[in-house]
Structure 1
Amino acid sequence: MTVGAVRGSKARGRRAAGAVLATALLCTGAVACTGSDDKSDKGAGDSGEHQSRSQVTEVITAAYKKTSAAKSAKVEMTISTPPGETAKAMGGAGEMKMSGVMGWDPTVMDVTMSGSALTEGDPSAPKQIRMLWRDNVMYMDMGATAAKDMDGRRWMKMDLNSIAKQSGDDKLTKQMTGGLDSMNQDPAQQLAMLLDSPNLKHLGAAKIEGVQTQRYKGRLTVKEMMESNDGLKDVLGKSEREQLFKNVEKAGIKGYDTEVWVNEDDYPVRMDIDIKTPDGTVKTSQTFSDYGAAAKVTPPPAGQTLDLMEMFKELGKGGSGAGSDSGF
């Protein structure tokens, strides 16, 4: 593989990996923030009958237990990110769609990503990417065109544990691997955190794609969210959590509105995520079905994969200036 090919593949891979990884972290619960605009079926509306706080707590607790036990579901997700600094962190502005099967405890995924966020600024980027996630390793199918620049290998491999360890930073390794270990939070842990909302309330009945549901909403400030997220406590010390809190507040994020629609079987049918930022609102909508659906993931053959870290190393050996942007 030539240096130019490596550089081009790396640039495409980095953009795609950033967008896909950001989506993966959102849907696995590593980014714990939920809320939404209203997209329920027309005419569903408020039933006019609202449950008491104890009734609401009982319903969300039951939903948490059922979802936690299911361990997997089919999922469809849409993320819309406005242009700006937030988009850079998320891998690109625009819309990202995802559909497939995901599991939690442990985290596994077999989903297909598409949307303008993948191709922003690079028309040659893949129009869609299949993403597999197993044992904290992400595999991305970059397509037949990209395979020409990857020695015929169309799958890009990103081993997050390996990346952390190769950094030589013990703290980074602990934070990354610990964060991955706590990523079995979606959607059950999101429901658990919703229970900590001081203003959790029932909004009434609504139909989602023909399914009768009850709609609930609550709000957590950044501080309340961080205190509710046990995964953060396991990974970060008190001073580190305080610094993270300051950084999030500095970024202009004040809190998280959480909204969930629960069906008659106590499963969440839909959960929406809105993150309000100075650039605008990052909107995420997730719908779930077929709880308990098989979420078996088989990694692609080693001969068809290209390790992202190995690509970086090869780029660094390519000569003067070739490795100047080798950071991911």
Structure 2
Amino acid sequence: MNKSIRRRAGLSLTAVAVVAAVSACGGEDAKNGAETKLQSGAEVTKVLKAAYQKTEEAKSAKVEMVATMPDSAAFGGGGEMKLSGVMGWDPMMMDMTMSGGGLKMTPGAPEQVRMVWLDNAMYMDTGAAAAKEMDGKRWLKIDLKSLAEQSGSAALQKQLTGSLDSMDQSPAEQIAMLLESKSIKHVGAAKVDGVDTQHYKGTISLEEMLEKNDSLVLGEKERAQLLKGLKGTGISSYSTQLWVNKDGLPVKTDLSMKTPEGVVTMVTNYSDYGAKASVKAPPAAETFDFGRIMEKLGEGMKGLGV
């Protein structure tokens, strides 16, 4: 079996795992000089409900993200992976550049890869060298629903379709998850990249979310979709930190998620809310379907008697 085909498959699934686990580029998180009166529970709820509404209406933002993953096969060898670009929600779309993490663990992989997510499919620019192995096409298309059906494995189908559901998470939904927490609290004033913010945090388990029958901001359908995505990824709990600016918009989130493979952390900085997310899929003539790679892998395994 062609080793380059196996590398391409591994790199592609690593990208899916990282984005699905989706969402520090830094900045200081120091308190302002003067002590700030902490908000009451009612005030925290009021502020975050307003932040949810504003974020939901913004529809898009520029994103800088750092994800730290456990050293497991499911995450392509783990390590730190960086993503930057633009993200839109309702509908979900993104145009990101990815570097680090599994790319470093994959022989022959480029230092960075551009990824486009649109209409429930991911497109990866694998570079000119890889195009030689894909009929001269440098863009790899990964359709998770199709891939799940092709696998013939109920467990893999559940994992892949769960990843698809979890992709559709905006920063507004991260606020919604924080509002689900009984431990939610106001930490105080802080600066993030020189911007004055208010800092909030809370922890909630998937079990607690399932036991709760309503949401302060999500409708029944939206909440059911969110829970479906979380169950599909195997995440058991979330610890969320959120920094909100004077306009009531998140400038930074810090998520720590417990998964069967270990803890995944994602620190994300947001800016330019409402910036047009002009995400376009590559021309069909320049894309190669990931399903064909999986078919070749299957043929190779059969040839080895597996």
| Aligned equivalent of 2:225 | 231
Label 1:46 to 1:203 Cα distance change in 2 as closer, same or farther (>3 A): farther
Q: Which amino acid aligns with 1:82?
A: P
d(CA) in 1 for partners of 2:268, 2:69: 15
Using the TM superposition, give the Cα deviation of residue 175 of structure 1 relative to its aligned residue in structure 2, in angstroms.
8.0
Counterpart residue number, 1:166: 150
1:72 aligns with 2:72: no
- Residue 179 (structure 1) shift: 6.3
1:188-229 deviation digits (Å, cap 9, x = unpaired): 111112111112110100010011100001111231244565
Determine helix, strand or coil for the equivalent of 1:205. Answer: strand
Query: Could you say if the C-alpha distance between residues 235 and 97 of structure 1 is closer, same or farther in structure 2, counting changes exceeding 3 Å?
Result: closer
For residues 3-18 of structure 1, the aligned pairs below 5 Å read 4=2, 7-9=3-5, 11-18=6-13
Q: How many Å separate the matches in 2 of 1:278 and 1:232?
A: 19
Structural RMSD (CA): 3.2
**Counterparts in 2 of 1:172 and 1:299: CA distance versus 1, 3 Å:** same
* Aligned counterparts, 1:126-141, within 5 A: 126-141=110-125
Aligned residue among 97, 100, 113 for 2:82:
97
Q: For 2:95, what is the secondary structure of its paired residue?
A: strand
Deviation at 1:176, TM superposition (A): 5.4
Q: Which residue of 2 aligns with 1:56?
A: 44
Question: What is the match of residue 33 of structure 1?
Answer: none
* 1:253-302 Cα shifts (integer Å, max 9, x gaps): 5x322110000111000001113568764321001011111112221122
Q: Which moved more, 1:152-161 or 1:13-22?
A: 13-22
Give runs of aligned pairs for residues 241-260 of structure 1, distance below 5 A: 255-260=237-242
Distance across 2 between alignment mates of 1:116 and 1:181: 23
Amino acid at match of 1:187: P
Structure 1 position 217 matched with structure 2 position 201: yes
Confirm or deny that 1:321 pairs with 2:303. Answer: yes
Q: How many residues align?
A: 295
Aligned counterparts of 1:176 and 1:46: Cα–Cα separation in 2: 48
Alpha-carbon spacing, 1:265–1:280, altered in 2? closer, same or farther (3 Å): same
Measure, in 2, the Cα distance between the counterparts of 1:66 and 1:289.
Answer: 14
The letter of the residue matching 1:16 is L
> Equivalent residue for 1:301?
283
2:169 corresponds to which of 178, 181, 185: 185
**Length-normalised TM-score, structure 2:** 0.84
**Which sections of structure 1, spanning at least 5 residues, go unmatched?**
29-35
Measured in 1, the distance between the counterparts of 2:283 and 2:133 equals 18
Counterpart of 1:73 in structure 2: which amino acid?
Answer: A
Alignment partners' CA distance in 1, 2:101 and 2:154: 37
Give distance in 2, aligned partners of 1:319 and 1:176. Answer: 21
CA contact (8 A) 2:165 2:228 kept: no
Distance 1:63 1:115, change over 3 A: same
TM-score (norm 1): 0.78
Q: 1:299 to 1:318 in 2, by over 3 A?
A: same
Task: Report the secondary structure of 1:49's partner residue.
Answer: coil
Describe the SS at the equivalent of 2:292: helix
Partner in structure 1 of residue 15 of structure 2:
20
The runs of 5 or more residues in structure 2 that have no matched partner are 213-222
Assess, with a 3 A threshold, how the Cα gap between structure 1 residues 185 and 40 changes in structure 2: closer, same or farther. same
Match of 1:285 in 2: 267
Provide closer, same or farther for how the CA distance between residues 284 and 44 of structure 1 changes in structure 2, counting only shifts above 3 A.
farther
Deviation at 1:89, TM superposition (A): 1.6
